[in-house]
Amino acid sequence: MIGWPGYRNADGRSGLGYFESNAEWGHMQGRILRMLITGKVITRNPIFLFGMFVIGMIYSLPVILGLPDILAGGGSGWYVLILNPTWIVGLLILKNILIALKNDEIQDNEIAEEMLDDANSSAYNPNHQEE
């Protein structure tokens, strides 16, 4: 994220401050969520696929455990789905696993290429002057 205001070697600092650290963390969370939604977090490495499967199943537990109650006509399952939105991320992770298993032309470094493309995009502004 070179070129962003408040970068690590700003004047009078030895590292990122509190607000810059949170901004960088939020930026990376947004990038990962966008990649999950668009189906670009894919790999062919079986260890990574297994790890993604475990994490996706853990995050999808509210749906897995609440669906029988919803189908039986109970009302508490809906509350769990509304108040615990982690199941959305879990289903997105599982969707990316299905895309990875279905697509035979995936390169192992597709995630890294996507991150590099974003780093070289309009987010980098070499003309920015720190105040």
In a domain, 109, yes or no: yes
In a domain, 8, yes or no: no
Domain region containing 83: 18-119
In a domain, 31, yes or no: yes
- pLDDT tens for each residue of the chain, 131 residues long: 555 554 555 566 666 666 667 777 888 889 999 999 998 888 888 999 999 999 999 999 988 888 888 888 877 778 888 888 899 999 999 999 999 988 766 555 555 566 556 555 545 444 444 44
Question: pLDDT at position 128, please?
Answer: 46
Question: pLDDT at position 94, please?
Answer: 94
Residue 60 to residues 29, 53, 73, Cα–Cα distance (Å): 19, 10, 20
In a domain, 9, yes or no: no
In a domain, 4, yes or no: no
In a domain, 7, yes or no: no
In a domain, 10, yes or no: no
Residue 19 to residues 2, 22, 23, 91, Cα–Cα distance (Å): 16, 5, 6, 31
- For the chain, what is the domain count? 1
In a domain, 126, yes or no: no
Tally Cβ neighbours within 10 Å of residue 58. Answer: 12
